[in-house]
Chain A
Amino acid sequence: MRARVYVSLKKSVLDPQGKTIHHSLENIGFQQITEVRQGKFFEIDFAPELTREEVRAEVEKIAKDVLTNPVIEEFSYRIE
């Protein structure tokens, strides 16, 4: 089973990279953008014998304890 975890900066935290990308996109002609946030994306493959619930528990723990810094980041994930 594969989990896809998305990590991004919290809305309340300034995202200097996202802001710069946004600004640059506008400069090269993409005017219809209201915001750009950038983040990280992880693909984690689990052993096939795990149940969906077990994978969910593992992913939550990994995302919370390792993949994000809760001071500035939040995450979402999908299991497939």
Chain B
Amino acid sequence: MKFGVLMFPGSNCEHDAYHAIRKVLRQPAEFIWHQSTDLRDCQAIIVPGGFSYGDYLRTGAIARFSPVMGAVRRFADRGGLVLGICNGFQILLESGLLPGAMLRNRGLKYVCRQVSIRVENARIPFTGLAREGDVWNIPIGHMEGNYTLDADAFRWLERNRQVVFRYCNPDGEITAEANPNGSVANVAGICNPRGNVLGMMPHPERASEPLLGSEDGVRLFQSMIQSRSQA
């Protein structure tokens, strides 16, 4: 499966995602410049982490105006797989591809550490190889990961099974201590109603080799690949 990795000015995890896809998963991958509107026949798009446009104004707020995001929206509308990681998640929120918004972390500081997340929905293409309740260890690194949405909309989101990952303790329990940023109901990742667009704050590409301390991120990428080989 061919992956496209978007590059915005200020992206800085694009090489990490590219490395995981090419060297770990042995799949073709290509960088796509933010000015481009051609997604080069990619079957999945990764909106990588980093500080697009320096995170100036608001995280992800300027990147959404890039020409490439129009193409990504059309791609998603046709059912293409779109994965937003960290800043990529923030861009998808700003673009309206996913509901909600990000606030500054509850502790007001940037947080970089390993966290545990629980798979809440294993029926989408990103988690097909997992079982609901599985605990993955995947690092986070962000200043604005405090996901918020008004109560009604959030109930709707939960009812729709759009909460894909929640921060949990190593035993898989959803606790206040396990929430690193104050995110509503420990949300770490959500998808659109159709399940083909996923945004998540943890970095699966940083958990893709044993040397890095965890390989759990690989299961996410493998799920994506498998979902398309079955289709």
> Are A and B in direct contact (Cβ within 8 Å)?
yes
Chain A, 1-45, CB within 8 A of any chain B CB? 9, 12-17, 20
- Across the interface, which residues of A come within 8 angstroms of B211, CB to CB? none
**Out of A12, A20, A71, which one reaches B101, CB within 8 Å?**
A71
Known: A66-B57, A69-B61. A16 touches B150 (CB 8 A): no
A71 to B92, CA, bound (A): 13
A72 to B94, CA, bound (A): 11
In the complex, A67 has a CB within 8 A of chain B? yes
- Across the interface, which residues of B come within 8 angstroms of A9, CB to CB? 103
> Nearest Cβ in chain B — how far from A58, in angstroms?
16
Report the interface size class on chain A.
Answer: 10 to 19
Report the interface size class on chain B.
Answer: 10 to 19
Task: Give the A-binding residues of B (Cβ under 8 A).
Answer: 57-58, 61, 65, 93-94, 99-101, 103-106, 108, 146, 148-150, 182
- Across the interface, which residues of A come within 8 angstroms of B99, CB to CB? 71
> Nearest Cβ in chain A — how far from B184, in angstroms?
10
How many A-B pairs have beta carbons closer than 8 Å: the answer is: 34
A sample of 19 more A-B contacts (CB under 8 A), given A16-B103, A17-B108, A69-B58, is A12-B150, A13-B103, A13-B148, A14-B103, A14-B148, A16-B104, A16-B108, A16-B146, A20-B108, A66-B57, A66-B61, A66-B65, A69-B94, A71-B99, A71-B101, A71-B148, A71-B149, A72-B101, A72-B103
Nearest residue, chain B, Cβ from A40: B57
Task: Give the B-binding residues of A (Cβ under 8 A).
Answer: 9, 12-17, 20, 66-67, 69, 71-72
- Across the interface, which residues of B come within 8 angstroms of A72, CB to CB? 101, 103, 148
Q: Is the CB of A16 within 8 A of B182?
A: yes
- Across the interface, which residues of B come within 8 angstroms of A69, CB to CB? 58, 61, 94, 101
- Across the interface, which residues of B come within 8 angstroms of A71, CB to CB? 93, 99-101, 148-149
- Across the interface, which residues of B come within 8 angstroms of A15, CB to CB? 103
- Across the interface, which residues of A come within 8 angstroms of B105, CB to CB? 16
A24 to B58, CA, bound (A): 25
